[in-house]
Amino acid sequence: AQSVTQLGSHVSVSEGALVLLRCNYSSSVPPYLFWYVQYPNQGLQLLLKYTSAATLVKGINGFEAEFKKSETSFHLTKPSAHMSDAAEYFCAVSDRSSNTGKLIFGQGTTLQVKP
Amino acid sequence: IAGITQAPTSQILAAGRRMTLRCTQDMRHNAMYWYRQDLGLGLRLIHYSNTAGTTGKGEVPDGYSVSRANTDDFPLTLASAVPSQTSVYFCASSEVPGNTIYFGEGSWLTVV
């Protein structure tokens, strides 16, 4: 069975600082992994996804994530935080062990960006 | 702009009442999903449909039902609402099961 753990429910960085949001997964099959962002009172928007091609995946808004099979990790990074990055971020793995196609989400990490 | 439309955007509902959350997508996606989002729990799947005419249960299906009469619509019904169903509900879709999932803007439901 697949699962996702996001380390840290709340991360605070200064504007211009590196953003690192951690995600570890468990999967019995090669995983498809996703990062979504949710701005206040909005739905989820896809940031990036890994589907077994390049291990370093670039997404929107300057974010990227690296798939590391040996560490079962898919951490999200951005070199320089902007105030507009403040949001909740969800890591998810696609349930490829069944035919549902559903996503299994982590609990989410709230990113705060301080001026 | 094409996408997923949910209605209502928000609703306050008396316990015991019946409620249907509507979801329509215009992307001709085969798969559709209903998730609920609760603080500290992330998003949990309620029900899903891989194609019109079929539905399946997710992680938290109790108290909810769905139907998929056609490709575009996937309504979620609470037969007799209870306060624990207070949540934000997201409808989502993907072209085929396993592809990228796209989300609607959510329906905020409060059961009192």
- Residue A99, pLDDT > 70, answer no
How much of chain B, in percent, has pLDDT values that exceed 70?
Answer: 98
Q: Do A101 and B31 touch (CB under 8 A)?
A: yes
At residue A30, the pLDDT reads 82
Name the minimum distance, in Å, from the CA of B2 to any CA of chain A. Answer: 14
- Closest CB from A45, A49, A90 relative to B43: A90
At residue B65, the pLDDT reads 98
pLDDT mean over B9-37: 96
Q: How buried is residue B65: exposed, middle or buried, by Cβ count under 10 Å (0-12/13-18/19+)?
A: middle
**A12-26, A93-107, B27-41: least confident range:** A93-107
At residue B15, the pLDDT reads 97
At residue B83, the pLDDT reads 97
How far is Cα of residue A34 from the mean position of the Cα atoms in its chain? Answer: 6
Instruction: For CA atoms A92, A93, A95, A101, give the dihedral sign.
Output: positive
Q: Name, in order, each residue with C-beta under 8 angstroms of A92's C-beta and a sequence gap of 6 or more.
A: A4, A33, A34, A35, A36, A103, A104, A105, A106
Q: Do B105 and A42 touch (CB under 8 A)?
A: yes
How much of chain A, in percent, has pLDDT values that exceed 90?
Answer: 75
- Closest CB from B44, B90, B94 relative to A101: B94
**How far is it, in rounded angstroms, from Cα A26 to Cα A94?**
11
**pLDDT band for position A35 (50/70/90)?**
very high
At residue A29, the pLDDT reads 80
- Residue A15, pLDDT > 90, answer yes
**Tokens of residue B110, six digits:** 């409060």
- Residue A107, pLDDT > 80, answer yes
Question: What residues of chain B, 48 to 87, have a C-beta less than 8 Å from chain A?
Answer: 48, 50, 56, 58
* pLDDT tens sequence across A51-69: 877 899 999 999 999 999 9
**How far is it, in rounded angstroms, from Cα A31 to Cα B46?**
22
- Say yes or no: A46 contacts chain B, CB-CB below 8 A: yes
- Say yes or no: A96 contacts chain B, CB-CB below 8 A: yes
- Residue B31, pLDDT > 60, answer yes
**Which residues in chain B touch residue A29, judged by CB atoms under 8 angstroms apart?**
none
**How far is it, in rounded angstroms, from Cα B74 to Cα B67?**
6
- Residue A43, pLDDT > 80, answer yes
The rounded mean pLDDT for chain B is 94
At residue B1, the pLDDT reads 56
